[in-house]
């Protein structure tokens, strides 16, 4: 035991790379939530009346809802009136028309995070929507995308410029009454990304949103809506970071995906919110509802997530497989350490004939963390010939952490088939000794072993992100050896 124990004790020490704060003048609402706050939020965003009404309806509904307590996580009760629901960098007039008008402090922030927004240095082949606290500050590559007919803009812009599309699809996958955090988000969401890919169009580049929480005492409530029309394809990436602060901050997002006939959406997340310090102080509460609806036949939605950040994660990217032959996929790596808690997994709801789903979940726990997989596979009466394959693997580093698996299966169709495999393993002393005997640093060895464990998921990520994700795990496991 000697080797690994020592390494694990050291594993707790790691540095969060993105913990800096941007000094920028911001317009921030006083903490508190009521109908006036929502009206002000809607007004500041120049929203049409229908949007305000939609929000208020959601708010009234939310007031009657209870915070869920079934997840395998524990955190002090959140006072929703102590949170500020809007914070945005101050700017001169309206939205910046071009990147030249974006505050240089903001550009610097994103540069520091490795997301240059400037024309000259933009990430090759990846269009970025940069969301800073409550607002989208910049969107790159708008013109080439527009040429292809792809709409890629902030959700606030979409509400103003594409009201029919937004009204048709917003809340169609995750209704305001779906759950407590989705209800809250529907009432107060401040920004996020909107994507529409028209019929038959293969989106010419990767789309991405980079979420940054900066202000203290604010929640980030973003809303993302992606609609892939018949026969279209889009790959979307999402990244997130936040400064190190001693207080916990709430991030309650809703993501809705809609795939029509023969359309395909690939949604990848690298979540690296501030996880709190080694004593469990601070960090983001990441309570997120992500759901995709395969409403068309032969459509496909894939979720790939690499979750390394946040103090508490509550997140179940799901697929509702309505269309005949539609396919849902969920590939997940969730790493927890120190006092992090993650309750994450997916729901695959099979409604249509011959629908298929695949779930590959890799949970890694280190330190005193707790890591739970929670998955539901459900077959409705119409799910003739539907099938699911689930594989849940847990890897433990040290012996003070926990891994839990909660698979639920509900079937109303006898012809549906489920296969479930689960394993739990440890980074063994023998593996560590082999690596070290070959001259490899213990720290590098742990990271190599963990990366190997995650391989099936990493290969689903777009190239740039796969490299990023591997590095992120390395950083997350840094200081693992003494």
Binding site for other proteins (CB under 8 A): 1-3, 428-431, 433-442, 444, 448-449, 451-456
**For residues 17 and 429, which CB has a smaller minimum distance to other proteins in the complex?**
429
- The answer to whether 240 touches 309, Cβ cutoff 8 Å, is yes
Q: Which is nearer to other proteins, 238 or 468 (CB)?
A: 468
| 104 versus 452: smaller Cβ distance to other proteins | 452
User: Phi-psi category of 31—alpha, beta or left, where left has phi over 0 and alpha has psi -120 to 50?
Assistant: beta
Sign of CA dihedral 156, 157, 159, 165: negative
Rounded Cα–Cα distance for residues 294 and 357 (Å): 11
Q: How far is the CB of 4 from other proteins (least distance, A)?
A: 10
CB contact at 8 A, 273 and 248: no
- Minimum CB distance to other proteins smaller for 358 or for 451: 451
Which of 32, 482 has the CB closer to other proteins? 482
The least distance separating other proteins from the CB of residue 114, rounded to whole angstroms, comes to: 23
CB of 445 to other proteins, least distance (A): 8
Q: Which residues contact 129 (CB under 8 A, 6 or more apart)?
A: 136, 138, 139, 140, 152, 153, 154, 193, 207, 208, 209, 210
Task: Write down the least CB distance from residue 452 to other proteins, Å.
Answer: 3
Question: Minimum Å distance from CB 361 to other proteins?
Answer: 15
For the bound state, the minimum distance from the C-beta of residue 464 to other proteins, rounded and expressed in Å, comes to: 18
| Nearest-angstrom CA–CA distance, 164 and 155 | 13
Cα 374 → chain centroid:
16
Q: What angle do CA 357, 359, 363 make, to 5 degrees?
A: 170
Residues, the chain, total?
482
Shortest distance (Å) from residue 373 CB to other proteins? 18
Nearer Cβ to other proteins, position 172 or 444?
444
Helix (H) or strand (E) holding 155: helix 155-161
3-state class (DSSP) for residue 110: helix
Torsions phi, psi of 467, nearest 5? Answer: -65, -45
The pair of three-digit structure tokens given for residue 180, joined into one six-digit string: 């407590």
| Secondary structure percentages of the chain, helix, strand, coil, to 5 | 25, 35, 40
Q: How far is the CB of 481 from other proteins (least distance, A)?
A: 10
Q: Closest CB to other proteins among 9 and 217?
A: 9
Cβ atoms of residues 481 and 448 within 8 Å: no
Q: Between 76 and 439, whose beta carbon lies closer to other proteins?
A: 439
- Residue 349 or 445: the one with the smaller Cβ distance to other proteins is 445
Separation of alpha carbons 474 and 309, rounded Å: 13
**What residues contact 257, with CB distance under 8 A and at least 6 apart?**
173, 226, 227, 228, 265, 267, 290, 291, 292, 293, 301
**Measured from the CB of residue 443, what is the shortest distance to other proteins in angstroms?**
10
Contact 325, 352 (CB under 8 A): yes
The distance of closest approach from Cβ of residue 391 to other proteins in the complex, given in angstroms and rounded to an integer, is: 13
Nearer to other proteins, 71 or 445 (CB): 445
């Amino acid at each position: 035991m000697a080797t690994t124990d020592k390494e694990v004790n050291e594993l707790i020490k790691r540095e969060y790379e993105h913990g800096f704060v941007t000094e920028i003048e911001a317009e921030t609402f006083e903490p508190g939530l009521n109908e006036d706050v929502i009206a002000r939020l809607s007004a500041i965003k120049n929203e049409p009346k229908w949007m305000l009404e939609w929000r208020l309806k959601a708010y009234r509904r939310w007031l009657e809802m209870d915070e869920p307590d079934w997840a395998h996580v524990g955190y002090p009760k959140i006072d929703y009136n102590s949170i500020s629901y809007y914070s945005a960098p101050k700017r001169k007039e309206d939205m910046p028309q071009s990147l030249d008008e974006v505050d240089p402090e903001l550009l610097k922030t994103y540069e520091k995070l490795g997301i240059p927004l400037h024309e000259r240095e933009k990430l090759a082949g990846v269009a970025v929507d940069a969301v800073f606290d409550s607002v989208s500050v910049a969107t790159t590559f708008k013109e080439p995308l527009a040429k292809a007919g792809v709409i890629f803009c902030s959700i606030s812009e979409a509400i103003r410029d594409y009201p029919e599309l937004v009204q048709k699809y917003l809340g169609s996958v995750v209704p305001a009454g779906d759950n407590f955090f989705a209800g809250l988000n529907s009432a107060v969401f401040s920004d996020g990304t909107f994507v529409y890919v028209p019929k038959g169009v293969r989106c010419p580049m990767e789309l991405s949103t980079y979420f940054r929480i900066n202000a203290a005492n604010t929640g980030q409530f973003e809303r993302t809506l992606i609609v892939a029309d018949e026969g279209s394809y889009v790959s979307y990436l999402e990244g997130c970071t936040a400064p190190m602060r001693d207080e916990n901050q709430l991030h309650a997002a809703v993501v809705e995906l809609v795939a029509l006939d023969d359309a395909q959406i690939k949604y990848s997340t690298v979540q690296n919110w501030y996880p709190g310090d080694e004593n469990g102080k601070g960090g983001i509460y990441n309570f997120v509802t992500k759901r995709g609806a395969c409403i068309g036949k032969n459509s496909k939605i894939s979720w790939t997530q690499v979750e390394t950040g946040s103090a508490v994660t509550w997140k179940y990217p799901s697929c509702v497989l309505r269309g005949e032959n539609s396919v849902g996929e969920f590939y997940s790596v969730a790493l927890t350490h120190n006092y992090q808690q993650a309750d994450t997994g997916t729901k695959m709801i099979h409604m249509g004939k011959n629908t298929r789903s695949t779930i590959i979940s890799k949970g890694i726990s280190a330190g005193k963390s707790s890591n739970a997989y929670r998955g539901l596979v459900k077959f409705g009466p119409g799910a003739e010939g539907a099938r699911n394959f689930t594989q849940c693997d847990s890897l433990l580093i040290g012996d003070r952490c926990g891994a839990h698996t909660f698979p639920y299966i509900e079937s109303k169709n006898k012809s549906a088939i489920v296969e479930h495999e689960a394993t739990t393993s440890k980074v063994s002393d023998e593996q560590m000794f082999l690596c070290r005997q070959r001259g490899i640093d213990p720290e590098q060895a742990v990271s190599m072993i963990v990366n190997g464990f995650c391989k099936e998921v990493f290969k689903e990520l777009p190239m740039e992100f796969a490299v990023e994700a591997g590095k992120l795990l390395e950083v997350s496991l840094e200081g693992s050896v003494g």
